[in-house]
């Protein structure tokens, strides 16, 4: 059985930056437990002699020449932002008061 508890889900939600409600934490605890138990079977055949595949068709050293090109303008880059001052994104305080 998996070790998915409400505390684990709460911690994962903090890592993932999602303010889950207590109800969602309860529901996800049960659902994730079932899913994790199911996907754990991957370890049955993953023996040490089998190499890992990260990309199906591996390419290596994909470089391009470092030349200036046309990129987004500041205006374009800011166009979809919830809040900006014309040259920068605006966010609320990065540090909490006690920090």
Partner 1 sequence: MSELVTLSAADLAAKLASGEVTSVEATQAHLDRIAAVDGDVHAYLHVSGSALEEAAAIDARRASGEKLGELAGVPVAIKDVLCTVGMPSTAGSKILEGWIPPYDATPVARMKAAGLVALGKTNMDEFAMGSSTEHSAYGPTRNPWDFGRIPGGSGGGSAAAVAAFEAPLALGSDTGGSIRQPAAVTGSVGVKPTYGGVSRYGAIALASSLDQVGPVSRSVLDAALLHDVIGGHDPRDSTSLTDQWPSFAEAARAGARADSLKGLRVGVVKELDSPGFQAGVSQRFHEALELLTANGAEIVEVSAPHFEYAVAAYYVILPAEASSNLAKFDSVRFGMRAAVQGTVEDVMAATREAGFGPEVKRRIILGTYALSAGYYDAYYGSAQKVRTLIQRDFSAAFEQADVLVSPSAPTTAFEFGAKLADPLAMYLNDVTTIPANLAGVPGMSLPIGLAPEDGLPVGFQIMAPAREDARLYGVGATLERLLEESWGGPLLAQAPKL
Phi/psi at 34 (5° precision):
-65, -40
Residue 20 binds partner 1, judged by CB under 8 A = yes
Residue 39 binds partner 1, judged by CB under 8 A = yes
Alpha-helix residue ranges (DSSP H) falling in 1-99 = 6-15, 22-39, 42-45, 74-78
Residue 30 binds partner 1, judged by CB under 8 A = no
Contact between 83 and 89 under an 8 Å Cβ cutoff? The reply is yes
Give me the residues that bind partner 1 (CB under 8 A), please: 4, 8-9, 12-21, 24, 28, 31-32, 34-36, 38-47, 50-57, 59, 62, 64, 72, 76-77, 79-83, 89, 91-96
């Amino acid at each position: 059985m998996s070790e998915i508890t409400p505390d684990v889900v709460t911690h994962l939600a903090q890592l993932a930056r999602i303010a889950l409600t207590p109800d969602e934490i309860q529901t996800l605890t049960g659902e994730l437990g079932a899913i994790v138990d199911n996907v754990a079977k991957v370890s049955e055949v993953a023996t040490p002699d089998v190499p890992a595949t990260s990309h199906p068709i591996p390419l290596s050293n994909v470089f391009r020449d470092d030349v200036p090109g046309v990129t987004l303008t500041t205006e374009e880059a800011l166009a979809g932002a919830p809040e900006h001052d014309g040259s920068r994104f605006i966010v609320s305080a990065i540090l909490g008061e006690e920090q």
